[in-house]
A and B are shown apart, each in its own frame.
Chain A
Amino acid sequence: MNNDKSPKERQNAWIESTMNSYRGKQTMSPPDELFKRIEQVIDKDSRSSKKLNWYVPFAAAIVLLLVNTTAVVQYVEITKSSTEQTTENYLINDYNLYDYE
Chain B
Amino acid sequence: MKEESNILGLIAGGDRKAFLTLYAEYSTLVYNLALSFCSNPRIAEDITQDVFTKIFKNAGKFEGRSSVKTWIYRIAVNTSIQASKRPRNRPFEIIKDQSSMQGHPGIELEKREKAVQLKQAIDQLPENQKIAFTMSFIEELPRQEVADLMEISLKATESLLQRAKKKLRIILREVYLEMYDA
Cβ of A22 and Cβ of B104 under 8 Å apart? yes
| CB within 8 Å of B: which A20-57 residues | 21-22, 24-31, 34-35, 37-39, 41-42, 45
| CB within 8 Å of A: which B97-144 residues | 104-108, 111-112, 114-115, 117-118, 137-138
Number of chain A residues whose Cβ lies closer than 8 Å to a Cβ of chain B: 25
Helix, strand, loop or mixed for chain A's interface? Answer: helix
Among candidates B41, B53, B173, residue contacting A42 with C-beta atoms closer than 8 Å? B53
Cβ of A28 and Cβ of B23 under 8 Å apart? no
Cβ-based interface call for A6 (8 A): no
Report the separation of the CA atoms of residues A64 and B180 in the bound assembly, to the nearest whole angstrom. Answer: 71
Cβ-based interface call for A2 (8 A): no
| CB within 8 Å of A: which B47-61 residues | 48-49, 52-53, 56-57
CB neighbours of A22 from chain B (8 A) = 36, 104, 107, 115, 118, 137-138
Task: List 9 tightest A-B contacts by C-beta distance, closest first.
Answer: A26-B106, A21-B114, A30-B31, A21-B115, A25-B106, A18-B114, A22-B138, A21-B111, A15-B172
Cβ-based interface call for A14 (8 A): yes
Report the separation of the CA atoms of residues A38 and B180 in the bound assembly, to the nearest whole angstrom. Answer: 46
Cβ of B31 and Cβ of A28 under 8 Å apart? yes
Among candidates A15, A21, A28, A31, residue contacting B35 with C-beta atoms closer than 8 Å? A28
Cβ of B106 and Cβ of A28 under 8 Å apart? yes
Task: Give residues in A with beta carbon < 8 Å to B.
Answer: 10-11, 14-15, 17-19, 21-22, 24-31, 34-35, 37-39, 41-42, 45
CB neighbours of B52 from chain A (8 A) = 35, 38
How far apart are B177's CB and chain A's nearest CB, in angstroms?
8
Among candidates B16, B36, B169, residue contacting A15 with C-beta atoms closer than 8 Å? B169
Cβ-based interface call for B168 (8 A): yes
